[in-house]
Structure 1
Amino acid sequence: MSKLYPSGHGIFQDVPIHEWDPTENRQPAGWATNSSNIRWAYGPDSDSTLYSTPGHISAGSRRALCLWLPTFELRLELLRSPELDTTSVALLSPDESIRSKIWQVSERAHATGVRPGQFISQAVSLCPSLTLLEPDPAHYNAAVESMLDLLSELTPILEPAGRGRVFLGMDGLDRLFGSPSQQVNLALRSLFRIFPAPLVAATRAGMAPGKFGAWVASAATRSGEPVIVEESELVSFLARCPVNTLPVNP
């Protein structure tokens, strides 16, 4: 199925909502895991565990939606300095004790061999034209707060899991917002109210029973291709996912 979704040019286009196909335990047509870039997409200093906030979404929620914006902080910096978007860029660690290390890298920098966790000297030796950016946590936190305020209009059950990743409790919202696929599209389209199209276009979305399943669904899919996993399909879905898409230590 597909829903209308704004493109980067502000024109609505059809974007598929992929539902897991349990038949023969296989992925739906046109769907494939995107695990190769997951590790560097958020950097080693970003915690990939599921943060628990008392009173928020339950790990056993019947329907949870995970919205994930990989390299959220770096993307915010590139929005402030669009002239850097076609260059090799790396964001330094916000931790003062390891400020001499790389935290997040752009795709162009990654292609030259630059990786999160490298020392600046190593990264620059691999990519002499590398642009290094100082982190701005206050700016990133303000963007997160704006996102949470916006999403709270859809559901009061929210749980941020670090910057750029948030879980939404979607139980009982069918009468208000329609089917699960309609709910996912509504959440994604609402982000255009506060974020530019390039940032929204990079968002990955996964809906499944509980936070764990929702996180794996969002981590295993591509940007712009939300995945919905029903309860009866969760076990077979998880069984097919590579280990590095799971928020656990292998």
Structure 2
Amino acid sequence: MRYSLFQSLLLISLLSTGAYAQKIFAHNDYEKPQPLTKAIEARADFIEADIYLRNGQLIVAHMPKEADTATRTLENLYLKPIIALFEQNKGRISSDRKYAPSLVFDVKDKVEDVLPKLLPLLENNLAAFSRSVSPMAVRIVITGNRPRPEFYLDQPTYLFFDGRPSELYDDETAKRVALISDNFRSYARWDGTGDVPEDDKAKLKRIIKRAHDTGCPIRFWNAPDTPDAWKKLYKLGIDVINTDKVAECAQVMK
């Protein structure tokens, strides 16, 4: 295939900067009026659910006191609906043949207690949750209380992890890191108004480069969550936009 000069320069630029396709992270999706459904409709790339272990069951909640084992089980809110969608769409989560999101579990209790309860639920339906079985499966990403990086390779191959800029990964371990995340406020004070200050830009770009050098896209939580901020953050090189306004963000950014 022959490339024009412009195409060649663009390709070189993308490869040299480690740029990634823009993605949307549906923050605290379970708090929305229609969890999972609206995130899928908006084609969110990452869909987040906080999980606790209560009375032997995995429960989706923001705070421990909200962990209602009667109504908010992980199976009922996420896993069973996803399996049903895969059956309905013949091996995909939606009719969009290119759409295969990641489901991010923010583990709030000890991960060594949570994983033994989570893994059997996933292994009963690996066609929906393992891309080794099906390339269109929902990728499972663990954040919050995660195993230490040296133990990532000991976990089932269908599990991926949310990394941190402070962690170092060898080449094989880095393959299990779906993205790298950190607190925006650790690097910047910008509130989304006006331009990003130069000092903030410099700090953010250093961390962005570190993630890209690892081979991973990067996300910041606690970042300003407005259309103007989304555009400016992406222009800085932030690949994954963390948002509570998924439908609006998808309309603006995709």
Q: Give me the TM-score of the superposition, normalised by structure 1.
A: 0.30
Using CA pairs below 8 Å that are at least 6 residues apart, which structure has the higher relative contact order? 1
